Amino acid sequence: MASRAPVRFPGSGGPGVNKHLSPRSARSDSMGERRRVSAWSEDGGARAGGDPGGGGGRLVPLLRGIFHVEKTSCDVSLTSSRLLWSPIRPDTPGSSKVQAQPQEASIELKDIFSVKLKRRRLAGQEKGGTLLGLTIFVCIRKGHKLKEKAIDFHNLSEDFCDIWHRQLKEILNGFPNRPKCLKVIINPHSHKGEAPNVYYRHVAPLFKLADIQAHVTETNYKGHALTLLKECELQEYDGIVCVGGDGTVSEVVHGLLLRAQMDAGKTVNGNLSPVRAPLPLGIIPSGTTDVLAYSLHGIKHPVTAALHIIMGNIQPVDACTFSTEDKLLRFGFSSMFGFGGRSLALAEKHRWMPSSQRRDFAVIKTLASLKPDSCELSFLPISSQQLPFHHKRKHEDSLPEDKDEWKHIGGELLNVSIMAIPCLCSMAPGGLAPNTRLNDGTMELIIVRNTSRPEFVKHLKRYATQKNQFDFPFVETHLVKEVKLCPQNTQNGNGFYEHTELSEDLHPWNIDGDLLEASSEVHVRLHPELINLYGSNIEELDEAKATCNCL
């Protein structure tokens, strides 16, 4: 017997149901063939196998039969890459009328995430019931949003539906990266206690539909996720899912990357060359700002996040290490020092306030006592050789050619942002760092020098508009690989630390929305594609529209 060629499923493309008028390569079956199930090979022989050409433009049915779709009797074919159906037109003997081509619809198999036998059941009945056919669950994309759609294929024959069900399941099981078992970590306090509700209402039913086992832990204290990730048997899982706001995501990312270093036997110190995270991480946005989820999915939408996980859409993302000379402080994606760090420190002191009020209160209060930090800042710009293609034309001339050359800046700085991801959020839809991308091997360094309060406010307000927020004489941006920042004068004299009760020697950093206090120089290094996140490259998706707005 000839051996079966493996079925290959091509990668990405536009999901959804396609309806188009086209001549069918396969002839519609007559109603008399209703119970006949054929599995066609390339040479027409009946076998339940794959298409060695992987689709390759030719429609080679693996299965073909008749179902009712939307109350119309349809000729349905399953090829190795698509499910196609078109209405059956009965022959009218003697009619000379030329019949219009039947409207054909199809879905790509890679867009299907579940197939279930559909049964009519009485209320409360869990098993059995009269078979009605199959329901196919498809992931459809509308802009950045992903949605589920169910399509019913009715046929009352158990044997017939069973063959289709098994064949479709086998195909779905062959898709890479689709998780079967996940560890889910929920912060029950995120966004006024909404996170569990978001998970159980919007995400858990989709995981169940996709036959994903989810082992859920609700955290009991700050640091619980970190402890959990240090101790749990990661090999049991295909991925980790975090349900919470930026602070929780930051803790989980740090925990997952720390665990990777432990497992690799690495000494975790300031010079660490980190290994990659062992498992992909899914982020279900349930906080107030949700910068990471927004940057990853282009939208703050738990169902979109869940469907990226279910579909196994993997996006490698650059991450940073934040360290002192001898100690690793943190893994993360973005940081702010100065105004951004102080306002977070102040917000954390007022956790009893509702989160949106807390943030506004902290920003206003920090603006009221706005003052610069005296800093020594060094950075290693990326060279013109390392410049990602999307920046090439604008930046090439201003960069060092190919050798590493540290640059130094000293003085009074109001804010320093160092970001490896664009940090999209509702307050800054274009991103806090619009010139970097999720995995382009660069961090954007944004330095805001001392200026008057009204000018600084003007700069901040621009983030919410289309205008260039960096177009001020006191702002400069660089694409960098490393940054060292050392505050010079820890005594600020106006009592700011009295508000926050921070020690005078400690400087607040905002790292991915989580507060970190450091007393000495912090060294930030970029590590390309250190972690896989469930999501897609929205920048590539928007590429056609996007224009580089680098300074």
Ligand X SMILES: Nc1ncnc2c1ncn2[C@@H]1O[C@H](COP(=O)(O)OP(=O)(O)OP(=O)(O)O)[C@@H](O)[C@H]1O
- Residues lying near ligand X in the complex (CB under 6 A): 187-191, 219-222, 224, 244-248, 251, 287-290, 355, 513-514
425 phi/psi in degrees, rounded to 5: -160, 170
Judged by beta carbon, residue 104 or residue 251, the one nearer ligand X is: 251
List all residues 6 or more positions away from 130 whose beta carbon is below 8 Å from its beta carbon. Answer: 119, 120, 156
How near is the Cβ of 227 to ligand X at its closest, in Å? 11
Alpha helices in 299-431 (DSSP H): 302-311, 339-349, 355-368, 392-395
* Smallest distance from ligand X to CB 306, Å: 17
Q: Cα angle vertex 28, ends 27, 31, to 5°?
A: 145
Here the contacts of 58-64 (C-beta below 8 Å, separation 24 or greater) are 58/25, 59/25, 59/26, 59/84, 61/26, 62/167, 63/37, 63/38, 63/39, 63/163, 63/164, 63/167, 64/26, 64/29, 64/37, 64/38, 64/40
d(CA 296, CA 308): 10
Beta strands in 346-458 (DSSP E): 373-381, 407-419, 443-449
Taking the least distance from each CB to ligand X, the nearer of 112 and 423 is: 423
Residue 465, C-beta contacts closer than 8 angstroms, at least 6 positions apart: none
CB of 356 to ligand X, least distance (A): 8
Give least dist CB 282 to ligand X, A.
Answer: 15
Distance between first and last Cα of the chain: 65
Judged by CB, which is closer to ligand X: 34, or 224? 224
Contact indicator for 258, 226 with CB cutoff of 8 Å: yes
Q: Which is nearer to ligand X, 184 or 382 (CB)?
A: 184
Q: Which is nearer to ligand X, 289 or 323 (CB)?
A: 289
Q: Least distance in Å: CB of 360 to ligand X?
A: 12
What beta strand segments (E) does 420-460 contain? Answer: 443-449
> In this complex, which beta carbon is closest to ligand X, that of residue 187 or of residue 442?
187
Which residue, 65 or 513, is less far from ligand X as judged by CB? Answer: 513
Nearest-approach distance from CB 190 to ligand X, in angstroms: 4
Residue 331 CB, shortest distance to ligand X, in Å, is 14
Q: Give dist(CA 249, CA 324) in Å, integer.
A: 23
Min dist. Cβ of residue 258 to ligand X (A): 14
Rounded to a whole number of angstroms, the minimum distance from the CB of residue 327 to ligand X is 20
Residue (114 or 295) nearer to ligand X, CB: 295
β pairing state of 181-186 and 213-218: parallel
CA atoms within 13 Å, Cβ hemisphere of 505: 2
Select 103 or 217, whichever has its Cβ closest to ligand X.
Answer: 217
Tokens (6 digits) for 454? 């009204």
| CB of 16 closer than 8 Å to CB of 141 | yes
